[in-house]
Amino acid sequence: SYFYCSPVPEVMVARSLIHFAVLLACVSAYNNGAPHSRTPPLGWSSWVGLGPLGEHPVFDYCDEASVKMAADAYVAVGLYDAGYRHFHLDDCWAGPRNASGYLTAESDHFPNGMKPVIDYVHSKGLTFGLYTCGGTETCVGGRPGSKDHWQQDADVFASWGVDWVKMDWCNTEGMDPKETYPLMSTALNKTGRHIHFNMCEWGKENPWEWGDNVAQSWRATGDHTPIWSSTKSIIADSAAIPAANSGQAYGWNDMDMIETGNYGQAAHANNREGNMTATEYKTEFSMWAISASPLVVTTPIYNCTVPATPTPSCSVVLLEQHSVAACTLGQSYDCNGNNTMWAEGCRGVFNCNGRNVTCDHDGEGRHICSCGAPVCTPTITALQKEILLNTEVIAINQDVTPQGRPVTNGDLTLWTRSLSDGSVAVALYNQEDTAQAIGFNTTQLGWDTSTEATVRDLWAHTLNGTITGVFEPVVVEPHATVMLRVYRKQD
């Protein structure tokens, strides 16, 4: 275990009053020098965000060209300037083990191996993360897991320059996470490289009780998808973590990736297309932020188009069939006259006008695939810019104090997080389907009833005046969160 000294709020209950005093204390924390780990990781993941250039994102896909394009786009769309630093590849990159048992990259997607790709991401000032699994195979791709290859895999990751490793928990029959995760943790540290370790056993064994000795972050919940029922459930799971086990510097409860602003433009994780409203997506970001969860968004951050230009001739040849349905030229696939091809029922890899094209779309009807070279532009939607680049809400997340949680156990309407500068973050959260009036008093922030304080609305970006003792209830719309930062006026 590593140790770190940080401000730790001590909660003292006297009759019905809750007082907060900030003490300087040394607490057990896993600080092995990994970059951007003192506060919750802030970043982007490939999970639903990548596909072959020029095509719609594919669930858990990555290749050299798409990763490099995403690294460029990460900076161009403003994530870097807003403070984001982590860049993660999920279960999409690994090929078979070599004859000596070491992991290799999937050769058709990464023909030059992983190191040049990782070096490119590092050149953008980003922290690079890779996925593995503690069992025999990974969860989605069926790729090699790290079981019984702890040191080999750790050595490979370190030699490539990896800064963050997520270890999932599929295909682990008969294994104990409390015994297994320390094996990889120890192996990573033996490499001599400073690597952030993220555990992912979905919170089933209460990792908040033992994770501080093993990792810098750990999944505390099940998988998150961009639908309201999932978001609501994950927030409730975070609220149930005991106050004594709330996250702290170098030890964070991970609520899973956020999918802010994802609709049809993203791939669909676990067969769930995003359908949340703008209000619900703001709640997702707000509640992950005040809970001091890692804020790692998975979403497309560039858009590629292929100009449809007339061509004097057209040829298409099937190279690799992916569909069960038959692929017959002229019947289930063929050329168009504008540098595109079509496929209906047939899915696979084709050579179209001399260029290899993956045309692999599920669903009925005729699908059009481009045959030309794609032109890619970094982009996120206006809603995503409003939410993901809100540095005032990000600042609530990027602190070293224990995570925010409900003031009263069982009542999820009022959450607070005491911050290092003495202010308090407040979330007025309405999970219900009807509007609710929610307010608070300054004793619930750890101050006395005569305290004067100024209130700032972090979504409206406005100062909402001064209160003395009480913030009168305001109407919070269904599934909405009012995000505030309250500053005590100095005597």
Lookup: tokens for 218: 């750990």
3-class DSSP string for 226-268: CCHHHHHHHHHHHHCCCHHHCCECCEEEECCCECCCCCCCCCC
Active site residue 448: no
Residue written as tokens 């996925």?
131
Termini Cα distance of the chain: 42
Q: Among residues 72, 223, 334, 457, which one is catalytic?
A: 223
Q: How far is the C-alpha of 281 from the C-alpha of 290, rounded, in Å? A: 14
CA–CA separation, 260 vs 325, rounded Å? 35
Burial degree of 7 (CB within 10 A; 0-12, 13-18, 19+): middle
Residues with Cβ within 8 Å of 108's Cβ and at least 6 positions away in sequence, in order, are none
90 is catalytic: no
Q: Give the span between the Cα atoms of 280 and 298, in whole angstroms.
A: 16
CB 455 within 8 A of CB 463: yes
40 contacts 292 by C-beta, under 8 angstroms: yes
According to DSSP, the residues that pair with 329 across neighbouring strands are 333
Q: Which of 90, 153, 168, 237 is catalytic?
A: 168
Burial of 12 (0-12, 13-18, 19+ CB in 10 A): exposed
Buried b (16+ CB within 10 A) or exposed e, 280-307: bbbbbbbbbbbbbbbbbbbbbbbebebe
Which are the catalytic amino acids?
Answer: 168, 223
